[in-house]
Structure formats: structure tokens, C-alpha cells
Amino acid sequence: MIAALLSVSTGATGQERAGVVSTAATLTVLSVPVERVGAGSDRSAAATSGSDLAVGDRVLTGPDGRALITFLDGSTVTVEPASEVTVRQAQMQGREASSPPRTTG
């Protein structure tokens, strides 16, 4: 399963079952301010390092804020200052879903 981030989005994906939220990634605050908005919520709260993120959660950084999002597969995304990102799950179909990564050389 590959996870990805898409910038500026509203609301949850609708893929979560009601009342069941699974962890998609972990947040690390590199410099404040960093806020987290839970999926389906309009309320932001100060984020803390080690927080679990679910699909649909948003991470907002202030003018000096930076954060690192680490997905379960070990991949990371750095959230730069004055940014907003939404955690999404990449959907792959057909051969892409089962094909190993290709290398060139």
C-alpha cells in the first residue's frame, strides 16, 4: 500500500468506516507552529510530535512551522512553512498495484 499527500483539500475521503479511524502516518513537528485538523472537522489544534494521522487529516504550518509526515511504509513528506496538506491514500489499479518498482541503470 502506498500513501501520498495531496495539497489543499476539504473534508474526509469517505473511505473510512463510521467511527473507525486507522493510522496512515505519524507526524513529527520540526518547528512551530504546526496544527492538525482531524478528518471531517473544521477545528484545528496544536500538533505534537508522535501524533497519529489518518486519511483525511490536514496538517497546517505557520510562517515558521515545519513538519515531517512519516507513512507506514517508511516514506516521508516534509511540510514546508505556510503550507496545508491533506493525508490521502493513493489508489493504484491493475498492474501498478502488484508490480515491483522498476530500476534503470
pLDDT digits (tens, 9 = 90+) for 12-38: 333 333 455 689 999 999 999 999 999
Residue 70 has pLDDT above 50, yes or no: yes
Which domain does 62 fall in, by range?
3-10+21-92
- Dihedral pair phi/psi, residue 98, rounded to 5°: -115, -5
CA pair distance 87, 103, nearest whole angstrom: 27
Asked if residue 56 belongs to a domain, the reply is yes
pTM: 0.68
Q: How many domains does the chain have?
A: 1
Which sign does the torsion angle of CA 45, 50, 56, 62 carry?
A: positive
User: What pLDDT is stored for residue 6 in this prediction?
Assistant: 42
User: What pLDDT is stored for residue 36 in this prediction?
Assistant: 98
Q: Please, which pLDDT band fits residue 10 given cuts at 50, 70 and 90?
A: very low
Asked if residue 48 belongs to a domain, the reply is yes
